[in-house]
Structure 1
Amino acid sequence: MRLRTRLLPLALLLLAACSSEGDDPPDAGTVVVEDLCNSRDEALTNADCELKPGVAVERFLALSGDVKAGDEDWYSIRVPANANARTLVHVTGAYLSASTPVNLSVTVYERDKNTALVGKSDQHGSGAPKPLDIVLPYGTPDTQLVVVVRDAPTNPARPAFDARNPYRLMVELLENPDTNEPNDVTPTPIALAAQGAVQVGTGKGYLATDNDVDRFSFPLTAGKIAYVKVTAPDQGFVPNFRLSYELLRPNGTEKESEGNVLPKVHPGVLATARKVKVAGTWTLVVKGYRPANDPVPAGDLRQPYEVEVRVLDEADPQDQSGDNDTYAKAVSQDFAGAPGTSKSFTGRLGYVSDRDWFTARVPVFGEPSVLRYRLVPLGTGGRFEPLPLPLGQLADRQVLVFTTVSTSTTAEQRAACSSSPAVCPRDAREHPDAPSLVQTYCNSAEAVLCIQSIREEGDPARFPGLSNFQGALQVPPHTAALTYHFVVQDDGTNWADDRDYRLEVSWEEDDTEEVTTYGGAPTEPARTRVLNGVGAGNLPTGNANFESKGQLSHGHGRLRGNDRATGLGVRGPTDYDAVPSDTDTYAYTLPSRTAPEDAAWLVQWEVDNLPDGGTPHGLALDLTFCDGSPTDGGSTCTPVSTTSTGGALTLAYSASVMRAWHTTASTPLSSYQALYQLEKTASTTRVTVAPYACACLERRFIKGGTLKVAVSATERSDYGRVGYTLRTGWGDYPRGFTAPDGGSPTQCPAPVAQADGGSGFTGGCQFTQ
């Protein structure tokens, strides 16, 4: 419709504006209107209704006279005689105003047909109007198309109109920039040419039209690896479509792979690497991603994409010789004799779904031992870039270690594996998801497997070079050979990088003290010691009467603060060991003392440094006292392993300034000090409980006579085989410490005799308060 108006009084213009809200039309005669382009016949015969390429028209969807059904404007487009399969009809429509009640709708028909070729509407509601963009391939020469512009009301009975704001409509006749068109059905062949040992082919195109689909084909040979990459280069804007692809097997229907980029991501990069199992001509389909119930993906004439195909030989020697992707085809090596030997396996994750299985068999051995493993990236390979990951997702390679419960996957075997720690151990204390992990692999399709260890790739800033991909497993004494299965894969088996790695596995003797202590027992007993006295002196170094030595071999060590969200040391957030980390327990006999029994407790520990000077781990000392003054009047010792407020009695280094037990809530912060002193020497890292801590043995504990100290690793940064020394003894109490301001020495709280001359004492050591 075209409006031809005379100048009107302001009141009449306001009346027209009110009518634009969809109310009843103004009286006839208010606006002089010559109503054109209201039918298909007018569109095809009236020169005013023909859209000229590149010429914008501005018209109104307004009501006139007694018309109440909603205005429609009909236009024609003349398709030239030289149109061909790459001819595009580009129609744009928009309201340029900030608001309009009209939900603009544009529909394109063939000349004499009522079925729409394409239609779009702007359902902007109360928001600002949005432009419509239609790109239609139409190659029938010397004919006409019909375009209908109308409102698309939310209520069909009340179409809106706008007598104040015009819409703008324009058509362009273009040639599709995609030289492969039409390839929606018949694929464009990609020729592969040798580049050394690799065959390479490329292609390019545009998803220029709505719901455009481009197909490419190329021949593949069974046993080869096909790397396929689709890239929409960054043009400085977000394309109208989300790039997606499908890789189809030679039958043309079965999908080998598919993927799409995230919304509003540019450039779009998609890639996969697949081992070819079916020879023949494969098809790559490139299109816009369309989620369920979403509209047809729009085309974009501005955004090209590129295709790269590489056909590679299998480069993993293990996969070349037997394809070790499954449990049954694991590459195996056997240890022999006694501990002290190592094995290594090599591999690479060369394609999606690639998994590398390896087996290490440990012969009969009557003493506890340790199996260490480490995954080392070698820096070779890499014939294609690591496959892209979704935005924000890190690579997630894994090393998993299993033992086999049974190759018979009966329900009884699976149930025993899932429910019995004796059949399959699980450490829920250090990993709350342990039960579900155990159940997952007990129900593996390949065998009934017990998960022993998991290392998963984390943030490369925290674990450069896969530095957390190492572990040490406790191997118990055994009368039959033990088999450990190692699997290298990525989580989900949907990623590959074609990089070589080496899996190093060594079988080593356990700590001599540990071997001696076990003595064939099913569990490690406590090592008995006597807590000796130093009088008024300090702990002597190198005196066996005050030192306990050992090594903490297996397990990743505990997390101080239990920060599972990030992990600490060499332990990633999802790393797991089925057997709790190695813990050495010492049972000290306390001295028999006359009242007041309070005694100072001197504690120091040190861990050997690694050859490069690094500290492999810290120590945590979990304490359990025996309360020799039971409140029930009995004589049974009551174990005490928590403070009076319920916190664990654990000593572990912290550099923080803290409040000691002998301070009060009113003690000024300026009086707080560090409870531990750290000293790094050339050979060890030493921690001493500071004098300010006033570490001491309470009277009730002296009466109980026993102190157990459980020593475990914390914040492990390496599995290097190193020793530790725990140095401890008792001394005269009370002792003094220096105030932080360098003032006069201050004494720890001393016991005070009863005021009435009785034999009891008050105050003194309250270390666990």
Structure 2
Amino acid sequence: MHPPARLLPLVLLVLTACSPQGPADLCNSREEALRSRECQLTPGVPLKDRYLSFERDTDWYSVRMPSDVGPRSLLRVTASHAASSTPVSLSVTLLREDGGELAPRRVDAHGEGQPRPVEFLLPFSEPGVRLLLQLGAEPVNPSQPGYDARNPYSLTVEVLENPDANEPNDTADTATPVPLTSQDGIQVGSASGFLATDGDVDRFSFDVPAGKIVYARVTAPSLAPLPPPAYLLSYELLRPDGSVEDEAHVDSPTLVVDLATARRAKEAGRWQVLVRAWNSGTSSEPPLGDLRLRYTVDVKVLDEADPHESPTDNDELARARVVNLEGKHPPVSESFTGRLGSVQDKDWYRVQLPSSTTHTLLHYRLVPLPSGGRFPPLPGRPHRLVRVLSEVAGSSANDCVTKADVCPKGNGYGSDPAVTSLVDGWCGHGTPLCLHSSRDELEAFAHLRNLEGVLPVPPHTTSVGYFFLVQDEGPHQADDHEYRLEVEWLSDPDENSRKGSGTTETPESKMLASDDAGTAFPAPPRGSEYEVHGSISYGLGGLVGHEPSKGQGVRGPRDYDAVPGDVDSFSFILPSSLPVPMDRTWELQWEVADLPDGGIPYGLSLDLTFCDGERPDVESACTAVSTGSAGAPLTLAYSGAPMRAWHSPASGPGELQPLYSLERGEGVTRVTVRPYACSCFEPRFLRGGILEVSVRAVDRMDYGQADYTLRTAYTGYPRTYSTLDGGTASCPRPEGDGVVPGCVFSRQPVPPATSP
């Protein structure tokens, strides 16, 4: 064997014998910490490259406080692993020299995640005192070893000055006074501080007379791009007896802090703002302090500026501010000016109507005003609302819930749990209250545009009171801006002509006239022979193209009316003895007058009920038909979109065209059924002799009063219509001398199935 080869095992043996045996194990006891220089720390000098190198290894260190430690001194201890991963869950215990615990032991229980520093930050004002630190590996997971001979830890002890000049102010007796000075008639003051130490609590005090509004705000900047504080800032507004008036906390440490409240001080005395790190109750350790985040406390003490709150407030129905219209007749306009100047402020108003033998209307609108606003709107999303109610004296809560003549029920009741709960909740009031209308603020409706409504007021032999509640339902909301609640009592001549002194509408009867010439086809002729008129005066009606959640129309998705909308009924007498084939074309047009400003108040929908003369009913000569072949209601309403007509092919996409045309001019918005729709009367319906039409508003844009005209006639069938290729086509023709009708207007097209 070659000599170098023979020497190789010997070289390897020597190298193995000289290899390191792992990090030196130092500072294993309290005694070593006190006497060994290697275990004695110098404040401000990091100790590095120490290891918990075997199971149940414990390291001890001591540190002596400098002689200049004073009342504003802070002790910060930081221990950490620099590695991204370690099996050690580092624990640190901070002790006095006699063994007494200076602070509860802390553990970095990071699990499978990256290790985090273990930190103490606490006030310490004892110069020359020696402290002990014990570091170990917490046995969090018995299946993993609690040591790490490869990744060192570091340990630093620092003595710092507390940046918070207000300390100590942790108790009511040591609270920092906030001097208040007058600015434009408002008492104003501010202070600032730090939650510098673990579990720190800061208190600020100021004097408040009874009946004033207390505005308190706590703000702090974001520390980004630096790491955020390890806590969530919170505050409490405390009454003179120490109980909590209001409280809040930020949702994330990375956010700019803006917490505020405004409360009516019912108790005179020394109020306080308490600032602390919020503890959700999930940790037994005090929240960590932070020397970087300065917060500011702003305080205002304001007079109550709402005239309706003096000499007593109007926060309860029994203290509602009243306008009595006794001796007056429609039209009458009244208004209330108020403001929501504090959290949970409620403003109740009552409008008392005299007896009336006619149908009238009650129009209300909440208008935000630029006046007021002595403090910024409180943080969070506002939720202002209006409720319109009346007492149902003499009726039980059960009657209020179950009897429509006691309290009518409108849109969503019974199908929407939120609406049902709201209505039933007011019925369960001490004296049952019927909810007539409710409006809730929605961000999509700028300037509270949806907080408006019109209610029908039926004839009444005695005085009737309507209550209006204005409030912000947000748990911490107020803005101190003035608003104006406008209320109008109006006449409703159209409703009186239809209902008289009763509550049931009698349909207006009209003979359907013939347009033999059809010179204006598809429009019917004009004139009284072909026209009926009306006015949709209250309620929303229906939705066709509007999406309330997007701020379209006049009402939000949560808004409610006990009477959903005005409905006008017409009964058209159809020609029942026409020669065969009886099919006839139906000319149909309607128009709604523009508002004085040129705006469109609403569209119209027509709910149709034919009478099938070929199917006698038990009690009549025909069977009512109000749904089509697909089971959907027979309802006509404008849409400008291309659609399938009743005669469109059942297979394939067919030729889609709009069924209606819309034009504006002459002070009206006019809708005409187009020839492509092949609008017509089926022979069986002509034999029935009656067409009931219910007219209601759709996609309402304004509550302003506006009249409509419905124009209709019948003419020869079939008619032709223009096709998209520039040609013409005919509506389906009758067959077999009218035995098989050509018109099947009640056929509802079903879109063809798409291929998978």
1:662 pairs with 2:641: no
Letter in 2 for 1:200: V
Distance 1:623 1:182, change over 3 A: same
> Which residue number corresponds to residue 371 of structure 1?
362
Q: Identity across aligned pairs (percent)?
A: 46
Cα deviation digits, residues 291-345 of structure 1 (max 9, x gap):
1223532211111100000011111111123311111111100123321111111
Distance 1:695 1:105, change over 3 A: same
Paired residues for 1:261-272 under 5 Å: 261-272=250-261
Paired residues for 1:591-606 under 5 Å: 591-592=575-576, 593-606=578-591
Letter in 1 for 2:611: C
Question: How far, CA to CA, are the matches of 1:63 and 1:379 in structure 2?
Answer: 70
Between stretches 178-187 and 106-115, larger displacement belongs to: 106-115
Letter in 1 for 2:155: L
TM-score by structure 2 length? Answer: 0.91
1:765 pairs with 2:723: no
1:415 pairs with 2:401: no
> Which residue number corresponds to residue 108 of structure 1?
94
Alpha-carbon distance, 1:649 to partner = 1.4
Distance 1:697 1:32, change over 3 A: closer
Unaligned runs of 5+ in 2: 1-10, 749-756
1:75 pairs with 2:58: no
Alpha-carbon distance, 1:523 to partner = 1.9
Paired residues for 1:226-375 under 5 Å: 226-236=214-224, 237=226, 238-252=228-242, 254-294=243-283, 295-335=285-325, 336-375=327-366
Question: How far, CA to CA, are the matches of 2:14 and 2:313 in structure 1?
Answer: 84
Distance 1:568 1:120, change over 3 A: same
Letter in 1 for 2:192: K
Cα deviation digits, residues 82-105 of structure 1 (max 9, x gap):
222321112222222121111122
Cα deviation digits, residues 466-509 of structure 1 (max 9, x gap):
11111000000110111000011012563110001111101101
Question: How far, CA to CA, are the matches of 2:553 and 2:158 in structure 1?
Answer: 63
Alpha-carbon distance, 1:442 to partner = 1.5
Cα deviation digits, residues 177-206 of structure 1 (max 9, x gap):
111111111211101111120010101001
Distance 1:715 1:115, change over 3 A: same
1:628 pairs with 2:613: yes
Cα deviation digits, residues 430-470 of structure 1 (max 9, x gap):
7734432221112235x3211110111101xx311111111
* 3-state SS of 2:447 partner: helix
Question: How far, CA to CA, are the matches of 1:43 and 1:605 in structure 2?
Answer: 97
Between stretches 178-187 and 527-536, larger displacement belongs to: 527-536
Distance 1:532 1:111, change over 3 A: farther
> Which residue number corresponds to residue 515 of structure 1?
496
**Contact between 2:412 and 2:420, CA under 8 Å: does it hold in 1?**
no
Cα deviation digits, residues 573-629 of structure 1 (max 9, x gap):
111111121111111111122221111112211111122222121111111111222
Question: How far, CA to CA, are the matches of 1:198 and 1:227 in structure 2?
Answer: 11
**Contact between 2:351 and 2:466, CA under 8 Å: does it hold in 1?**
yes
Cα deviation digits, residues 682-706 of structure 1 (max 9, x gap):
5111111111111111111111111
1:465 pairs with 2:436: no
> Which residue number corresponds to residue 22 of structure 1?
none
Letter in 1 for 2:256: P
Which one of the candidate residues 688, 710, 730 is aligned to 1:726?
Answer: 710
* 3-state SS of 1:752 partner: coil
Alpha-carbon distance, 1:47 to partner = 2.0
Distance 1:615 1:675, change over 3 A: same
Alpha-carbon distance, 1:636 to partner = 4.3
Letter in 1 for 2:449: S
Which one of the candidate residues 376, 384, 387 is aligned to 1:400?
Answer: 387
**Contact between 2:230 and 2:253, CA under 8 Å: does it hold in 1?**
no
> Which residue number corresponds to residue 118 of structure 2?
132
> Which residue number corresponds to residue 421 of structure 2?
436
> Which residue number corresponds to residue 476 of structure 1?
458
TM-score by structure 1 length? Answer: 0.90
Question: How far, CA to CA, are the matches of 1:577 and 1:386 in structure 2?
Answer: 29
Question: How far, CA to CA, are the matches of 1:158 and 1:265 in structure 2?
Answer: 34
Alpha-carbon distance, 1:420 to partner = 2.1
> Which residue number corresponds to residue 189 of structure 2?
201
Which one of the candidate residues 522, 533, 538 is aligned to 2:514?
Answer: 533
Question: How far, CA to CA, are the matches of 2:249 and 2:569 in structure 1?
Answer: 55
Alpha-carbon distance, 1:12 to partner = 14
Alpha-carbon distance, 1:561 to partner = 7.0
Question: How far, CA to CA, are the matches of 2:22 and 2:475 in structure 1?
Answer: 71
Letter in 1 for 2:355: V
Letter in 1 for 2:361: V
> Which residue number corresponds to residue 175 of structure 2?
187
Question: How far, CA to CA, are the matches of 2:267 and 2:52 in structure 1?
Answer: 62
> Which residue number corresponds to residue 40 of structure 1?
30
Question: How far, CA to CA, are the matches of 2:34 and 2:624 in structure 1?
Answer: 99
* 3-state SS of 1:560 partner: coil
Instruction: Count residues in correspondence.
Output: 726
Alpha-carbon distance, 1:265 to partner = 4.8
> Which residue number corresponds to residue 717 of structure 1?
701
Between stretches 616-625 and 562-571, larger displacement belongs to: 562-571
Distance 1:738 1:84, change over 3 A: same
Question: How far, CA to CA, are the matches of 1:243 and 1:11 in structure 2?
Answer: 63
Distance 1:428 1:196, change over 3 A: closer
**Contact between 1:697 and 1:767, CA under 8 Å: does it hold in 2?**
no
- Aligned-residue Cα RMSD (Å) equals 2.6
Letter in 2 for 1:316: D
1:117 pairs with 2:107: no
Cα deviation digits, residues 626-677 of structure 1 (max 9, x gap):
12222889964222222211122111111211111111133445x2111111
Letter in 2 for 1:560: V
Between stretches 731-740 and 41-50, larger displacement belongs to: 41-50
Distance 1:632 1:226, change over 3 A: closer
Alpha-carbon distance, 1:540 to partner = 4.6
Letter in 2 for 1:292: G
Letter in 1 for 2:34: L
Question: How far, CA to CA, are the matches of 2:259 and 2:287 in structure 1?
Answer: 18
> Which residue number corresponds to residue 612 of structure 1?
597
Alpha-carbon distance, 1:541 to partner = 5.7
Distance 1:11 1:575, change over 3 A: farther
Paired residues for 1:544-559 under 5 Å: 544-559=528-543
1:96 pairs with 2:82: yes
**Contact between 1:649 and 1:768, CA under 8 Å: does it hold in 2?**
no
Cα deviation digits, residues 727-765 of structure 1 (max 9, x gap):
122111111110123x222111111116xxxx7234433
Distance 1:579 1:11, change over 3 A: farther
**Contact between 1:341 and 1:506, CA under 8 Å: does it hold in 2?**
yes
Letter in 2 for 1:199: Q
**Contact between 1:91 and 1:135, CA under 8 Å: does it hold in 2?**
yes
**Contact between 1:604 and 1:728, CA under 8 Å: does it hold in 2?**
yes
Letter in 1 for 2:747: T
Question: How far, CA to CA, are the matches of 1:73 and 1:166 in structure 2?
Answer: 12
Between stretches 115-124 and 345-354, larger displacement belongs to: 115-124
